[in-house]
Structure 1
Amino acid sequence: MDTPQWRLSATATLIPGLPIEPGLSESLLRALADAPEPFKVQRMRPLPPVPAGERVIEADQTNHSVIVGETVVVKWFERPSGDSPAPEVFAHLAEVGFERIARPYAAVFRGEDLLALVTAYLPEAVDGWQWCVDEAVSGGTAFAAELGRMTAELHLAMATPSRVLPEPVRTAAPAWSGRAAEALAEALRLTEDAEDSAWLAAHEADLRRELAPLEVAGDTPVLRIHGDLHAGQVLRWRDGFAIIDFDGNPTVPGAAPYQPAARDLAQLTTSLEHVAQVAVKRRGADPQAMAAWAWTTREALEAAYVGTLAEAGRSELLDRSLLRPFEVEQLCRELIYAGRHLPRWRYAPMGVLRTWF
C-alpha cells in the first residue's frame, strides 16, 4: 500500500540529476507528524492547511524545489549533508520573529543529513537576477534603501538571543587575511582566458593592496550571517522582499558559521555591480550609465544599512574597515565559481574589476 511512510522512505537514495518523483513532496508533508526511521523532523512553525497538487519550480538551481498546493515549497537537497546552516538559522529567525523570509515550517533529516526544507510559498515571486536587472535598465534606485534596511534587520535578528542561539554575538580574532589571499591565488589560477588572465596578472598588486587591511584588522564582532547574500537571493513577491537560501557560500565549504556582518553587506553591494554588468551584456545598457547606477544603489543600500543599525543602538555590529577587502575577496570567489562551474559568468566579476581599476 502506498502509505506516506513508504513514500517518504523512498527518498533514502536520491540520485543526483534526476527529478523528484511526482507525489513525493505531498507524501512528505503528510508524514511530518510521524516520520519513520531513519528520518526525523525539526518543526519550526505549525504547517497550514495545504491543498493537493504539485508543480516543480523550473529554475537553474543545485537542488529541487516543489510547490505543493500553492501554499508551501518543499526544497529537496540533491546531496544531503549535515553541514547546512539553514535549519538552525531558520529555527532562530522563527523564534525571534524575523519575517522577511519565506516562513519556515520544518526541516527533514535522514540521520544527521538535511534532506528537505519546508517553507511558505511566496506568490508572484520574481528572482533577483530578473527584477534587479529590470531596475538597473530602467534606472530605478528606490529599492536599494529597502534592501539595506532589510539586511540590517536580518543582522539585528541574528544578534538577538534565542533558545537556538543563546550567545548570538561573539568577538573573533582576525583570521580573514589568509582566506582572502587563498581566494585571490585560486582566482588567478582558474582564470584561463588569455586576456582576462593577463589583466589579472597585471593588477595582482592592486588586488593585494585592497586586501591588505585584513592583515591589520583587530578583533571584530561575529554572528551568524546569511553567508551567500546577493541580489539573486532576494525575491520580490506580492508583499515585498524576502531573503532566501540560507545554505552558505558554495565556494567556501566548511566556512566558520560565525562571520563579520560586513561579509554579507560586501556580497550584497558587490552583487549590484554584477547586476550592472548583466544589464550591459544581456540588455544592451550603456556601460557608463550602469556604472553610475551601481554607485548610486550601493551608496543608498549601505547608508540605509548603517542607519538602521544606528537606530537600534547596534552600530558595533558592522566593522566598515572590512567592507572593501571583503568585496574584493567576493569578486575573486565569483571568478573561482566561474572557473569551476560556469565559465560564461566570468564576464561579470571581470567587468566589475575593470570598472574599479
Structure 2
Amino acid sequence: MPDGSLPGLWEHISTARWFAGKGRGGRLIAAGLFDAVDPDAPCPVHHGLARVRHDDGGRDVYQLLLSERHGPDGPPGICPAPGGGRLCDAAEDEAALAHWARALLDTTAGPTSGADWRVEHMVAFPSRVRAAHRLSGEQSNTTVVAEGDGDQAVMIKVFRRLEPGENLDITTCAALNRAGVDAVPTVFAAVRADVDVPGFRDGPTDLAMATGRFPDAADGWRLICSRAAQGRDVSAEMTELGAALGRVHAAMAGRFGTGLLDGDGTAERMTRELDDAIILAPALAPHRGPLVAIFDELRGRSLPVHRVHGDFHLGQTLSTPDGWRIIDFEGEPLRPAAERRSLDSPWRDVAGMTRSLSYASSEAPGPAEAGRREWLERARTAFLAGYGHRDDAVLLAYEANKAVYETVYETLNRPGWVGIPLGATTAMCSGAGALLPDTAERKDR
C-alpha cells in the first residue's frame, strides 16, 4: 500500500464524527489505499490508512473506507482517485457497501485477501448479502448493516482510530462463541492487515469485524430508563442480566486465565486517581477522607482477576426475546489498549452496572427522592442476586472509584448532571450505599 498524497482528504478526516483529534490541531502526514476488496465491482471499495500528527506531538492512524466512482452515480467525491475517477465516502455509498459486504462474507469463493489485507472467516454467513447501509448514530467507529435473506443480517464494524494488534471485541466474542456462550454476538469474520501502528510492529492489526444481529432487540439503557420513569419494578430483568454477566465472566476466566491483584496497590491507585480527580472536580475534596477509607478496605486482600468487559453499563446490553445480550467488549475507550487487554477485577463490571442503574433511576417518578431510592435498591439487589455472589467491601470500592470518574466527567462536560455521581458519592461516604441525589437527569450509561 503506497503512501501518497490524496488531495482534499484532510478536510474529510478532520470533520468526521469518528475523528478523535478534535481540538488537538494536526495535519495529515501520509495516506494510502489497500487493494480494492472486490476490484471487479462496479464501484470498488478500498480500505485505507491516514496517518495524522497532532500539534501536541501525538500520532494516530485512522482507517478510511472509500468507494471508487467513475461516473455521475453515487455520492460526491472526497478526492481524486489515483487511477482516475473520484474517491467517495463508502459509508454513504449503499451500492458500494453491498458489493463490499458481499465480498467480505462470501466463503464460497475461498479465502478473501489482497496484497496487504485478509479476511478470516470464523462462521459462514448463511445467506448472500442483498443490501447494506450505514447504521446512524455512530461515534468512534462506523457500523454497516448487511442484510441477507429474510431477517438475516450482520453488523460490520469498521474500526476508525486503529489500535495495535488484535481488537478486544473480536478476540473476546470469538472465544466466548467457542465456549458456547450465547449472550454475546456471533463473530462471522474479521478483516486484518499488517499495519505499522505507533507502538506496535509485531503481527496484524484488526480493521473490521462482522457479527450477527440480534432480532427484535431492545436497547437496554432505553428499556430500563423507561421502566424507571414509570416506576415499574425491574427485579426480574436485573436478575436475568446479573446471571448473564456471571456466565460471561465464568467463560472469560476459563478462556483467558485468571490471576491475583494486590489489594494494597489497587487502593493506592484508586487514591491517586481520586487526588487527580479533585484537581478537576473540587467538589470531591470534602469526601476525600471517607473515600480513602473505602479504598483502604482493599488493603491486605488478594483480588481475583480475569478478562472482563471493562466498560459495562446498560448501554452495552440488549434485551431480546431469548434473554439479555452483552455487546462491545473493547473496554473503556480512554484507557490504553495494553491496559484494557490486561486481566482485571470482575467487580469493575459489576460496579459499572450498579452505577448505570443509579443514572437510570434518575428517570424514576419524582419529586420524592424516596421513590428513586427504593427503585434503585430493588434493581441493584436483584442484579447482584442474579450475578450469584458478592463482596460488599470490594464492590463499594469499585463503585466509589467509578463515581469519582463520573464526577470528573460531568464536571468537565455536563455540569448540570454532576449531582448524580456526586450525590451517590455523598451517600457512599455516609454509609448509605449507592443512593441518588435530588437531581433527575439522564445519561446514556
Question: Which category describes the TM-score, using the shorter chain as reference length?
Answer: 0.7 to 0.9
Aligned ranges 1:148-163 → 2 under 5 Å? 148-161=242-255
Structure 1 letter corresponding to 2:425 = L
Could you tell me which residue of structure 1 aligns to residue 270 of structure 2?
Answer: 180
Deviations 1:105-159 (A, max 9, x none): 1222232332212111122322222001012123222211001111111111112
Unmatched tracts of structure 1, length 5 or more = 192-196, 308-317
The CA deviation at 1:296 is 1.1
Structure 2 equivalent of residue 127 of structure 1: 219
Q: Provide the residue aligned with 2:407 in structure 1.
A: 335
> Is the 1:39–1:108 Cα contact (8 Å) retained in structure 2?
yes
Counterpart contact for 2:354–2:380, Cα < 8 Å:
yes
TM-aligned CA deviation for residue 224 of structure 1: 0.7
- The residue number in structure 1 matching 2:12 is none
Bigger proportion of residues as strand: 2
- Identical aligned residues as a percent: 26
- The residue that corresponds to 1:314 in the other structure is none
Q: How far 1:297 moved relative to its partner?
A: 1.0
Partner of 1:94: 177
Alignment of 1:242-321 (within 5 A): 242-253=325-336, 254-255=338-339, 257-277=342-362, 279=363, 286-306=368-388, 321=393
In the TM superposition, 1:50-199 aligns within 5 A as: 50-59=128-137, 61-69=139-147, 71-82=153-164, 84-111=167-194, 112-138=204-230, 139-141=232-234, 142-161=236-255, 165=256, 168-174=257-263, 175-191=265-281, 197-198=282-283
State the secondary structure of the residue aligned to 2:170: helix
Which protein is richer in helix relative to its size? 1
What is the distance in 1 between the residues matched to 2:410 and 2:97? 32
> Do the aligned partners of residues 41 and 190 (structure 1) sit closer, same or farther apart at CA in structure 2, a change above 3 Å counting?
farther
CA RMSD of aligned residues (A): 2.7
Contact 1:186 1:336 in 2 (8 A): no
Q: Which moved more, 1:294-303 or 1:204-213?
A: 204-213
Q: For residue 140 of structure 1, what is the amino acid of its counterpart? A: D
Measure the CA separation in 1 of the matches of 2:64 and 2:305: 37
Contact map agreement 2:92 2:134 (CA 8 A) in 1: no
State the alpha-carbon separation in 1 of the partners of residues 366 and 206 from structure 2. 42
Compute the displacement of 1:88 (Å): 1.6
Rg larger for? 2
For the 8 Å contact 1:272–1:297, the answer to whether it is kept is: yes
> Aligned partner of 1:119: which letter?
T
Q: Deviations for 1:198-225, whole angstroms, at most 9, x for unmatched residues?
A: 3x222222222221123x1422321111
- SS of structure 1 residue aligned to 2:291: helix
Displacement after TM superposition at 1:284 (Å)? 5.5
Cα distance change on mapping 1:185 and 1:35 into 2, 3 Å: farther
Q: Which deviates the most, 335-344 or 126-135?
A: 335-344
Paired residues of 2:258 and 2:305 also in contact (CA < 8 A): yes
Separation in 2 of the partners of 1:189 and 1:19?
Answer: 44
Moved more, 83-92 or 113-122: 83-92
Residue type at the aligned position of 2:250: L
Deviation at 1:29, TM superposition (A): 4.4
Per-residue deviation, 1:332: 1.7
Q: Distance in 2 between matches of 1:336 and 1:82?
A: 28
Output the CA distance in 1 between the equivalents of 2:209 and 2:414: 26
Residue 62 to residue 288, structure 1, CA distance change in 2 (3 Å): farther
Which amino acid in structure 1 is aligned with residue 124 of structure 2? Answer: P
Select the structure with the greater relative contact order (CA < 8 A; seq sep ≥ 6). 1
Take 1:255 and 1:337, find their aligned partners in 2: how far apart are those partners? 20
Q: CA deviation at 1:348?
A: 3.2
Q: Distance in 2 between matches of 1:333 and 1:37?
A: 44
1:233-273 residue CA offsets vs partner (Å, 9 max, x unmatched): 11113433210100011233242521122221111112111
Q: SS at 1:58's partner residue?
A: coil
**CA distance change for structure 1 residues 272 and 120 in 2, over 3 Å: closer, same or farther?**
same
